[in-house]
Amino acid sequence: MILKLGGVNMSIDRENQLSTSRVPDNERVGWKAPLFNMLGSNIAISELMVGGTLIAGMTFKEMLLTSFIGNILLVFILAIQGYMGSKEGLNTYVLAESVFGEKGGKFIISSILAISSFGWFGIQTGVAGLSVQKIFPNINLTLATIVLGLLMMVFAVFGFKAMAKFNYVAVPALIILMAWGVFKATSINSFDSILSYTPSETISLGEGLNMVIGLIIVGAVISPDQLRFTKGLKDIIIIGVVGFAIISVFQQAAAGILAMNSPSWDITQVLADLGFGTIAFLILLLASWSTNVGNAYSGGLALKNIFSNVSRDNLTLIAGVIGTIFAATGIIFKFENFLSLLSNTVAPMAGVMWIDYYIINKQKLIKRTNINFNALISWIIGSIVSFISTKYNLFIPPINGIFISAIIYYGLMKISVKDS
């Protein structure tokens, strides 16, 4: 099968070839297709879940400030990480091999990033199942979740271009429907009541930023999967500002307004309590679907880096099946714990990759065999610091992890050079 998008033809076979090799300059598509794929991924139930969680412990102004700061930081992370993918034309997992070593990148880093994609696929599928159950109360939740998960992986199998075609349709529909939801929410809660809202609990700025950044820090770290198709930094900035910051702040603010009367991470229950009908739950279903196309795609790329002899499309199917199993086991009900685990383990990888690429090797990729233990040790220490920061509410845990892993790696590499 051959797909055409933006004047570029791409078959499944070509997608399979590009899963581990550089995207040539003549096959770059600029910002449009990657932006819509990013929007498809980030117009997500998880964004609404974070908004509903934040408003349970913050005023609306505090929540808005937290969302703004967190998402601006995410744009910077995406720009730094994404530029590596754009300049080299490679996905996250191939880039990680050059830093952590062939074996370290392939069997450790790619495995962790694959599991994170499976988990996100499971969470989005779980919410889609809850949405269907709200429409059809007598349906079996596990069965609905399994059927939806298997359907959601289809577009991802056909690759980047098919995802963009799907999102060209899904994203405008989602934005229109979400705007309708916000309009209805503001008719339920007056402007004055929104601004004067006082929560019954308290969430600190640090805790809130950890939620906001932790929500899509994985998306920022694996952004080279999409941004390798861009033509440069300008494209990346457009994608970051629109596809990350603006859309995320809008969704989190909307969810906060919706959840003021019944603060909860479970946006399906919030909408049900407010009397939203079938259309609202269809919005959630479509949002889950558009997000899971990206989750299955990235999961397939991660597996491709581990199992190089298996085709990317088959591995994407496997990623979707594993994610569906995660959904069927109820990962959605462990959302906050999963979010914390990801932000604390994935974010420090970026600190190591940045120092290696931008500082140590001056924007050049170095082929390393086996395991780069300096990188691995730095990442582990950064993750430990991030976990400790979460436990004791110290600054912003994922940012702490990035900062510490970067410093440790720089020091270890300098020591290694002196010893040699």
pLDDT for 347-396, tens place per residue? 999 999 999 999 999 999 988 988 999 999 999 999 999 999 988 888 88
In the block, residue with structure tokens 């509903």:
52
Rounded-to-10 torsion of CA 332, 338, 342, 345 = -150
Is the per-residue pLDDT at 406 higher than 90? Answer: yes
Q: Which residues are CB-contacts of 255 (< 8 A; sequence separation ≥ 6)?
A: 47, 48, 49, 50, 51, 52, 55, 267, 270
94 in any annotated domain:
yes
pLDDT in tens, 182-202: 777 777 777 888 888 889 888
Model-level pTM? 0.84
306 in any annotated domain:
yes
CA distance 156 to 37: 11
Average pLDDT over residues 273-279: 70
Is the per-residue pLDDT at 296 higher than 90? Answer: no
pLDDT in tens, 27-65: 898 898 889 888 888 887 778 888 888 998 999 999 999
Is the per-residue pLDDT at 246 higher than 90? Answer: yes
378 in any annotated domain:
no
- What three-state secondary structure class fits 110? helix
Task: Give the per-residue pLDDT at 5.
Answer: 40
Amino acid in position 7: G
355 in any annotated domain:
no
- What three-state secondary structure class fits 171? helix
Task: Give the per-residue pLDDT at 8.
Answer: 41
Give the residue among 135, 131, 420, 153 at the shortest CA–CA distance from 299: 153
Task: Give the per-residue pLDDT at 165.
Answer: 75
309 in any annotated domain:
yes
CATH number at residue 315: 1.10.4160.10
pLDDT in tens, 58-99: 999 999 999 999 999 999 999 999 999 999 999 898 999 999
CB atoms within 10 A of CB 364: 10
CB atoms within 10 A of CB 172: 12
Q: Which domain holds residue 66?
A: 28-333
Is the per-residue pLDDT at 126 higher than 80? Answer: yes
- Do residues 27 and 8 lie in contact, with contact meaning Cβ atoms separated by under 8 Å? yes
CA distance 379 to 409: 8
Is the per-residue pLDDT at 13 higher than 70? Answer: no
Task: Give the per-residue pLDDT at 1.
Answer: 38
Residue with the larger pLDDT of the pair 177 and 86: 86
Average pLDDT over residues 242-259: 89
Q: What domain count does the chain have?
A: 1
Task: Give the per-residue pLDDT at 160.
Answer: 63
Top mean-pLDDT range of 20-24, 70-74, 301-305: 70-74
Query: What's the Cα-to-Cα distance from 229 to each of 24, 70, 218, 316, rounded to whole Å?
Result: 9, 26, 19, 19
Task: Give the per-residue pLDDT at 303.
Answer: 92
303 in any annotated domain:
yes
